[in-house]
Amino acid sequence: MRHVRFRDPAGAVRTGEWLDDGVAFADDEYDLSEVDVLPPCEPSKLVCIGRNYADHAAEMDSDVPDRPMLFLKGPNTVASHGSTVTLPAGKDRVDHEAELGVVIGSQARNVPEEAAMDHVAGFTCVNDLSNRDDQREEQNWVRGKAFDGAAPIGPVVADPEDVPDDARVQARVNGEVRQDGSRSQLIFSIPELVEEITSYLTLEPGDVISTGTPEGVGPLSDGDRVEIEVEGVGTLEHDVRFP
């Protein structure tokens, strides 16, 4: 099942089921044109993983890390399916990064690898938008990774059993395929990531682990339409604009 948060025609926020041509809540069904699709969860933070695909590390002329590289994005970065993200002004390069997102279902601290999936509510799509101009100039990546709207997520949270172990992870810009990878290519698996992260900090319900991006990251231009597709989840769509 794919779970969606949306605002219905009366203005009420609902959590329902994503259908092929709309959404459903209780006995009501709505066409997508009738509702506002909201981010599928409300994270207190996104924990993002750097260089978790060997081919992406290579394209960035970087080494594969010997332990997961972690950085944070705050709630201000979350943007929804169908939104238009305003990118930082005056930058030469802001890239798309298609990622599989892991949505946490229950509070997690010091979780061993073998129990990690007990704390996972499901999976979603993430675009880890990256302002390369500033990312190259700083170590903590706040300007590069944590600007407003830097993490479009959605459109749904899919149940774990509905997302294959080798789920395809793809990015398209204006219909052109830019990235085409697989969950099976992750250097550090989802259980390994949960164990590592929770040994340092508590994951709360609704938090998201953004598991890293395959090769093919590239720059965005004003007015581009971005699609992030994860097999079993669906397709996150949003536009970008430069002010």
Q: Note the pLDDT of residue 11.
A: 98
Average pLDDT taken over every residue of the chain: 97
CATH label, 39-241, candidates 3.40.50.300, 3.90.850.10, 3.60.15.10, 3.40.50.10860: 3.90.850.10
Q: Note the pLDDT of residue 179.
A: 98
Low-confidence ranges of the chain (pLDDT < 70): none
Beta bridge mates, 30: 23
pLDDT tens, residue by residue, 161-200: 999 999 999 999 999 999 999 999 999 999 999 999 999 9
Longest dimension (CA), the chain: 53
Q: Note the pLDDT of residue 20.
A: 83
The domains of the chain are located at 1-38, 39-241
Task: State if pTM tops 0.95.
Answer: yes
